[in-house]
Structure 1
Amino acid sequence: MGRKRRTPLITGLTAMVVVALAAGLYWFQPWKLWQDETVTEALPGTVVDVSRDPAVEPGESPSPSAPRGPVTVSSGDLISHEHTTTGTVRLVRLADGSHVIRLERLDTSNGPDLRVWLTDAPVKEGRAGWHVFDDGAHVSLGKLKGNKGSQNYPLPDGVDPSRYTSVTIWCDRFDVSFGAAALTDAG
């Protein structure tokens, strides 16, 4: 009789352990620490068709000082927060007037639910900088395409890039920065 009572208890405990283990694996996704995703994208460039530029009269050549391709507006080097992170971030204005955040030579850990955020938060060294980026204004530019390489993240229409001063690789699941860069004016 005692054996029959223990069987449902053991079965119930085993089921609870299996469910907890499955939920933990889904939440933390530890295998991602050993999986690298390298993405290498070229900087988008827009060829300006001078013959269709309304500011240029027919037969007239465009101003030599007018930028014809991508222009770096601001940039900064990534510093490590929760995970070792290196690379460069550039805010680039394209010839059509749109902007992209470009991550170059990015090298960080992979993780669950990583995002690229443009923020107004100051970049702080060490643990003090891990959690500051969701305190103020930020714009999510989408999921991190890869934890290594060079990649582009277009700014959505209507976003004024001059309102933001930093970029973070943000783990949305655990509300922590993997790494961040303060943007300083190019020049």
Structure 2
Amino acid sequence: MGRVRKVLGRPWIIGVLVVAMAGAGFGLYWFQPWKLWQDETVQEALPGAAEASAPPTVAPSGSPFASPSVQSVPDTLAGGELISHEHATSGTVKLVRLVDGSHVVRLENLDTSNGPDLRVWLTDAPVKEGMAGWRVFDDGEYVSLGRLKGNKGSQNYAVPEDVDLSRYSSVSIWCDRFDVSFGAAELAQV
């Protein structure tokens, strides 16, 4: 008991303990290591897929992926397979034009690690394998489609109407906190 009083009686030791505890708290907040063991599975249907009997609509003009034909079901315009970057990542990415003419990026059978501040980005960067591809996606032009809904499953991300799809060639699962790609896919027209 006397030793504890002696240690607590030194103000610099208390200061060091406070700084150490604050540093540990900040580190836990920043890295969120518990997310590595927490999976979030999201299973969304493709919008409009069940509405195949809806009246046909004409695809919007001016889009590089537009077609003059009448469309009554969602149309996959481009796609690719996810490759791993900072974390093991697999699944399929599709750029889909919906019946109403809007576009979504669809992640199917996604399987990646959970992490802090994960986003889905539509980018103009080429997909590179290995460490060379980890940090390229914020070097050029990109559009954030929002937070990753879950690190597993199939999900849809709306593409804003004002996005010129001809300017983007890939999709990245991007960790905004650490500026690194968890995985990415090159979009090839189908």
CA distance in 2, matches of 1:121, 1:9: 51
Offset, 1:7: 2.2
Q: Does 1:20 align with 2:23?
A: yes
Q: Does 1:144 align with 2:151?
A: no
Q: 1:92 aligns with which of 92, 96, 104?
A: 96
Offset, 1:130: 0.2
Structure 1 counterpart of 2:163: 159
TM-score normalized by the length of structure 1: 0.88
Which ranges of structure 1 fall in alignment gaps of 5 or more residues?
A: 55-64
CA distance in 2, matches of 1:103, 1:111: 17
Q: 1:183 aligns with which of 169, 187, 190?
A: 187
Deviations 1:119-173 (A, max 9, x none): 0000000000000000000000000000000000000120111210000000000
CA distance in 1, matches of 2:7, 2:118: 48
CA root-mean-square deviation:
1.8
Structure 2 counterpart of 1:59: none
- Give the residue type in structure 2 aligned to 1:137: E
Q: Does 1:37 align with 2:43?
A: no
CA distance in 2, matches of 1:5, 1:151: 54
Deviations 1:79-117 (A, max 9, x none): 000000000000000011100000000000000000000
Structure 2 counterpart of 1:71: 75
CA distance in 1, matches of 2:91, 2:130: 17
141-150 or 157-166, which deviates more = 157-166
- Give the residue type in structure 1 aligned to 2:47: P
CA distance in 2, matches of 1:127, 1:33: 20
CA distance in 1, matches of 2:188, 2:70: 22
CA distance in 1, matches of 2:162, 2:172: 20
Deviations 1:3-38 (A, max 9, x none): 489521111111010000000000000000000000
Q: Does 1:7 align with 2:13?
A: no
Which ranges of structure 2 fall in alignment gaps of 5 or more residues?
A: 1-5, 59-68
Identity over aligned pairs, percent = 67
TM-score normalized by the length of structure 2: 0.86
Tell me if the contact between 2:171 and 2:185 (Cα under 8 Å) persists in the aligned partners: yes
**Aligned partner of residue 23 in structure 1, secondary structure:** helix
